[in-house]
Amino acid sequence: MSAQVVWDRGVSISGSRLWLDPLVVRTFAFISHAHTDHARRHKEALLTPQTLALIPEARRPRGWRMLGYDEPMRIGQATVTLHSAGHMLGSAQLLFEHQGTKVLYTGDIKLRQPGGMRPTHVPKAHVLVVESTYGRPHFRFGDPDSTVEAIARWCRLAIDSRVTPVLLCHALGKTEEIMLALSVYGFKFALEKRCVPCARAYAMAGRSLPDWVELDGEVEAGRVVIAPPAGKDEVRRLSRYRTALVSGWAKDAEFSRIFGADATFDLSDHCDFDELLEVVERSGAEQVYTVHGYTEDFARHLRKRGIKASALEATEQLALAL
Ligand SMILES: [Zn+2]
């Protein structure tokens, strides 16, 4: 097999028949994590048990091979190993090895973890396919622990002023992780209905969450409300409330304005610009391909640093020799 990285509505390593987070249904596909943009009803999917548990029934693959972290699996002539990606429960990077060549696909990745957890490990590879959601230099996020502390202070201040604090978070992943991070400060929660199935799935997948109820009209004093950023109808029924957007997009004035929040916190489940550079450096890759978000910008920044890099989604379909 001549190792090639191929883009055709998803990444593939040619000769392996394995597609990585493809946007269309494939015979055999790796699903890096349970966010909706990655889950399709593939004939057979390779994923972690937690990712399978978090994918709603209607979007589950028709068949699957579950694989835990750090357990090598033979696929044809190649070996595949999954490594935690630190993005959400079950999220995985995929390391593909064939005849001495290693290709690392990060999926959505986050290096710095709150709560004193160790940063995400990046395996060494010759070729790296890295996400570039926040691949522009103005996306530099604060230390996650300090940000969680600032969010806790903001919530406490609102509660002490008899105002309901409302955190605007992505329903799957961000909501549950912020609940866990804030639980050490003793908060209880009320979740908007779109967050409810995600919280249940998280608990089913093995991560139990602190005390929460479903948001239903007025909320008992002292609870922190969590709701997705778009569509705040239920939140508007609260009598006195204050909202805070919890997202990497907080660093982008335009996006913050769109969500119309009273406060913003730059806590993200993706790497910021510096962390993306760190992923590239730690992988030691000689060739880098970027996918998602600011692909062209990030590839250009890497080239300026003397690294061979290009955006995979630049053209509809291309095959690149290693
Ligand atoms: Zn994601």
pLDDT one-digit tens code per residue, 37-86: 667 889 999 999 999 999 988 889 999 999 999 999 999 889 999 999 99
pLDDT for 314: 55
How far does residue 209's CA lie from ligand 1's centre (Å)?
Answer: 20
Residue-wise pLDDT for 184-235, tens only, equals 999 999 999 999 999 999 999 989 999 999 999 888 999 999 999 987 889 9
CA of 92 to the centre of ligand 1 (A): 11
Between the CA of 35 and the centroid of ligand 1 the distance, in Å, is: 5
**Distance, CA 117 to ligand 1 centroid (Å)?**
20
pLDDT of residue 321: 39
Per-residue pLDDT tens for 258-308?
A: 878 999 999 999 999 999 999 999 999 999 999 989 999 999 999 999 999
Residue 16 is predicted with a pLDDT of: 79
Report pLDDT for 274.
Answer: 98
Q: How far is the CA of 309 from the centre of ligand 1 (A)?
A: 22
Instruction: Tell me, in angstroms, the distance from the centre of ligand 1 to residue 286's CA.
Output: 26
pLDDT for res 115 = 86
Rounded distance, CA 126 to CA 139, Å? 27
**Domain 144-265: which topology?**
Rossmann fold (3.40.50)
Q: Ligand 1 centre and the CA of 29: distance in Å?
A: 16
CA of 222 to the centre of ligand 1 (A): 30
Question: Ligand 1 centre and the CA of 110: distance in Å?
Answer: 10
Residue 164 has pLDDT above 60, yes or no: yes
Distance from the alpha carbon of residue 161 to the mean position of ligand 1, in angstroms:
35
Predicted confidence band of residue 143 (pLDDT cuts 50, 70, 90): very high
Task: Report the CATH number of the 4-138+270-321 domain.
Answer: 3.60.15.10
Q: Which residues, in sequence order, are bridge partners of residue 102?
A: 97
Ligand 1 centre distance from Cα of residue 169 (Å): 13
Q: Which one has a higher pLDDT value, 138 or 320? A: 138
d(CA 103, CA 81): 11
Q: Give 277 Cα–ligand 1 centroid separation in angstroms.
A: 19
Edge-to-edge strand order for the sheet containing 241-246?
212-214, 188-191, 223-227, 164-168, 241-246, 263-265
Domain boundaries, the chain: 4-138+270-321, 144-265
pLDDT score recorded for residue 36: 73
CA-based nearest residue to 224, from 277, 164, 161? 164
pLDDT at 259 (0 to 100):
78
Spacing, Cα 14 to ligand 1 middle (Å): 25
What's the CA-to-centroid distance between 270 and ligand 1, angstroms?
Answer: 8
The residues facing 83 across adjacent strands are 93
Report pTM: 0.93
Q: Give me the sign of the Cα torsion angle 259, 263, 268, 273.
A: positive
Percent of the chain with pLDDT over 90: 77
What single letter denotes the amino acid at residue 83? H
Task: Tell me the CA–centroid distance for residue 109 and ligand 1, in Å.
Answer: 8
With a cut of 60, say whether residue 322 has pLDDT above it.
no
Q: What is residue 265's predicted lDDT score, i.e. its pLDDT?
A: 96
Q: How far is the CA of 224 from the centre of ligand 1 (A)?
A: 24
Contact 200, 207 (CB under 8 A): no
Rounded CA gap, 281 and 306, in Å?
A: 12
Burial class (CB in 10 A: 0-12, 13-18, 19+), 117: exposed
Q: 176 CA to middle of ligand 1, Å?
A: 14
Work out the pLDDT band at 2, boundaries 50, 70, 90: very low
Residue 38: predicted pLDDT? 60
CB-CB neighbours of 150 under 10 Å: 16
Ligand 1 center–CA 33 separation, angstroms? 7
Across-strand partners of 5? Answer: 13, 320
Tell me the pLDDT tens digit for each residue of 9-37.
888 887 778 999 988 899 999 999 999 76
pLDDT of amino acid 92: 98
87 CA distance to ligand 1 centroid (A)? 7
CA of 88 to the centre of ligand 1 (A): 8
What's 171's DSSP letter? T
Distance of CA 99 from the midpoint of ligand 1 (Å): 31
Q: Measured in angstroms, how far is the CA atom of residue 91 from the centroid of ligand 1? A: 8
pLDDT band at 257 (very low <50, low <70, confident <90, very high): confident
